[in-house]
A and B are shown apart, each in its own frame.
Chain A
Amino acid sequence: MMGKKKTRMLQHGLVYLSALILCGFSLIPILWGLSTSVKPEFLLYKPEWIPSQVTFQHYADILKNPLMAAYFKNSSVIALGSTFFSLVIGIMAAYGFSRFKFRGRETLLWSILFFQIFPRVVILIPFYITLKNLNILGSYAGLILVYLIVILPVSVWLLKGFIDKIPHEIEEAAVIDGCSTFSMLWRIVIPMIFPAIAAVAMYSFVLAWNEFLFALVFSSGNETRPLAVGLAFFIDEQGVRWGDLMAASILMSIPAILVFSAAQKLLMKGLSEGAVKG
């Protein structure tokens, strides 16, 4: 008994030590950003982690700026829209690819992945022309569509990987019970891949929330311009407005952190737990 307790303590010690190192590595740049965001201009380039004088002017400026509020709304619509559609369409497609053997399955699946190979620089202009012809240039729909193209291959491939691991027997039993494809997907498969859905949702949200080049080129004016483009306003030919940029970035990452926190419960739902409920 004693030995087991000791190994457990050692294990926990190792876990916390590792967590400390990993969190340290993750946080150091961010903490510097945080420190920069509360520094007055004259302290900016002094190597002080805890500034000798603190100002919240940068935060106040950003929160008071009506444009930032508009960009925030645009980012929210675009990121939530992209996340929602990439999950719905992605889960459906992943299930189809995983469970049905039909002609051209492999080719289609690989082609979807190949689309990822095209560099953004190369598809930027054709995308622009396509969106213009669809008459959705500069609209939320246009940006969501573009992000779906980026996210879907990842979402389909990952979700398919997870669905592949669900034993067929569970569904076969359900088929005998008279379950349709849709209800099977909804009642059995989805609960079993909650962790994967959470992970893909986080990926989609972060990508659509932070992406810059497409957002710049395909948004128009303040009506649909998202925050990521708004951030670039703090870098101009005079240099970087560090305080504003860092304050805005930190404010901007809060919604992503909230989404992450919300997804944590789903992420850690084990296979067994899901199956019981299904």
Chain B
Amino acid sequence: MRSRKWFNRLGITILTGMMLVASGCGSSPVNQTDPGTANTSSPSSKDNPTVTVWMGSWWQDQVPKIVEAYKKDHPNVNLKIETMPINGYLDKAISTELGGNSPDVLAIDTLFLAAMAGKEMLEPWDDYVKDLDPHDFTKAIWDASFMNGKMYGLPYRGESNVFFYNKTLFDEAGVPYPKEDWTQEDMLEIAKKLTIPGKQYGVGIAAATSDPANVMTSFAPVLWSFNGDFFNKDNTEAAINNPEGVKAIQFWTELYTKYKVVPEGSTNFALTKDVQPLFVSNKVAMMPGSTSMLKLVQQHPEMNWGMQYAPDKFGRAGGWIWTIPKSAKNKEAGREFALWFVQPENLGALSSVTFPVRKSATNMAPWDSQDMQFLQSASQYQRSLPIVQNWSEMQAGIINELQKVLTGGKSPQDAADTMAKQMNELLKKQ
């Protein structure tokens, strides 16, 4: 009997505990300005505001440096930087914003901008950047911070994509190194000469669904080289199935299907995970890359490598920008931090592996080296992907169709038509 009583008591205790917990569950689940968030602006925090910042995990080692430098200039501000892995970065950012709990400053890839700004998750920057000189910034990245004429991000990082080549493989085959004014056709001819089927390949491409940015780094410059583009001038209609676009798709996919100058697994390759390892083990002779690629080859002192502008010079601009989420609590202090960060002297000193977006930030070490200055000189040839609302969905569709051409399931024309159809439907949706 005693143990039954004990048992019932246990049950009742658990029950009461749960009721208490459950009663904490407010009635309106979604409320951007609920009391829980309001208390951060209490007097004490005004004297000593806290600014929360989210950045990519590759900044981890730089965080103490940034915090210290900011403390020096802003002794009253409590800066909290949280780093986030790229896996799930957007998932976390979106969940947090929809939960009304965003950081004050959120760093994002320009590729995410359209999705977030289109869903009205970001505050505009226009009124706060009047003192900045846009010409000091890499043009492609500055432009990529705008959507429908409004600026939603403050650029701090701008990557230029150029071509890296393996000098050893060139020398073995007796092929001269690429010249500054080479074209896609030249690239193909060289690639053919450097390919030994099953052993080594002339060039690397990426087509992996799970890494869309990589695919665009590989494909978009080819599209632009052939005078094609994703949309018409004012982004109102898909242009990818124009003859130029189809020719570009054909050229890019025939590297794999017809000329076989790219590795066999390319249908599923990402530049980072797959092509880079092949490049440093002398199995791929040429590939696009930027600062991170430079860092990789520098880790391999046994390699003999070189850099050249991409064929026809086009590269996909890769950029990261500071954004202010709608549900941020301390927007003004957040903006102050972001503006402080992009001041040339700070930007140059605090950027680690990523390339500063401002030319004036590159006249100090390590940016004044010959290699870095070469990357800087390529920034003028960079173009950005279109900033339209449903771009990430369109991009997934484009990659899907490209894969179908690569695996022989579709002709370039059919694939381009499907892409255009999907893109036009999605354009109408916004």
Q: Which residues of A does B touch, CB under 8 Å?
A: 41-42, 44-46, 124-126, 128-130, 132-135, 137, 178, 180-183, 212-213, 216-217, 220-221, 229, 232-233, 235-240
Contacts and interface: CB of A to CB of B under 8 A. Distances in A.
A269 to B, nearest CB: 24
A274 B22 CA distance: 39
A130 B58 contact: no
Contact of A133 (B26, B85, B295): B26
By Cβ-Cβ distance, the 9 closest A-B pairs, closest first, are A232-B85, A182-B7, A239-B272, A180-B4, A238-B292, A128-B99, A233-B57, A45-B281, A180-B3
A45 B302 CA distance: 14
A135 B80 CA distance: 21
A44 B36 CA distance: 50
A146 to B, nearest CB: 13
Interface string B286-312: 000000100110011010000000000
Nearest to A126: B29
B272 A237 contact: yes
B302 A232 contact: no
Interface of B: 1, 3-4, 6-7, 10, 21, 24-26, 29-30, 36, 56-58, 60, 80, 82-88, 91-92, 94-96, 98-101, 213, 272-273, 276-278, 280-281, 292, 295-296, 299-300, 302, 353
Given A45-B281, A135-B24, A238-B296, A232 B272 contact: no
21 contacts: A42-B300, A44-B277, A125-B94, A132-B99, A133-B24, A134-B24, A137-B99, A180-B1, A180-B3, A212-B87, A217-B88, A217-B91, A217-B95, A221-B80, A221-B82, A229-B85, A232-B87, A236-B56, A237-B213, A237-B272, A238-B272
A181 B276 contact: no
A183 B95 contact: no
A154 to B, nearest CB: 21
Contacts of B99: 125, 128-129, 132, 137
B310 to A, nearest CB: 19
Given A132-B99, A233-B60, A180 B85 contact: no
A182 B6 contact: yes
A180 B88 CA distance: 49
Given A180-B1, A236-B58, A238-B295, A45 B85 contact: no
Contacts of A235: 85-87
Nearest to A121: B91
Given A229-B85, A237-B58, A183 B3 contact: yes
B296 to A, nearest CB: 7
Contacts of B101: 128, 132, 137
Contacts of A217: 88, 91-92, 95-96
Among B56, B84, B95, residue most surrounded by chain A Cβ atoms (within 10 Å):
B95
A258 to B, nearest CB: 26
Contact of A239 (B10, B84, B273, B302): B273
A238 B92 contact: no
A186 to B, nearest CB: 8
A236 B24 contact: no
Among B7, B83, B292, residue most surrounded by chain A Cβ atoms (within 10 Å):
B7
A232 B24 contact: no
Given A134-B21, A182-B6, 16 more contacts: A45-B277, A45-B278, A124-B91, A125-B99, A128-B98, A129-B30, A130-B25, A134-B25, A216-B87, A217-B92, A217-B96, A221-B82, A233-B57, A233-B85, A236-B85, A238-B296
Nearest to B302: A42
Contacts of B21: 134
Contacts of B24: 133-135
Given A42-B302, A45-B281, A134-B24, A237 B85 contact: no
B273 A213 contact: no
Given A125-B99, A129-B29, A130-B29, A41 B85 contact: no
Given A134-B21, A232-B88, A238 B98 contact: no
A216 B85 contact: yes
A128 B300 CA distance: 44
Among B80, B85, B86, B295, residue most surrounded by chain A Cβ atoms (within 10 Å):
B85
Contacts of B281: 45-46
Contacts of A44: 277
A125 to B, nearest CB: 5
Contacts of B87: 212, 216, 232, 235
Contacts of A128: 95-96, 98-99, 101
A236 B86 contact: yes
A42 B282 CA distance: 12
Contacts of B36: 132, 135
B81 to A, nearest CB: 10
Contacts of B83: 233
Contacts of A183: 3
A216 B24 CA distance: 24
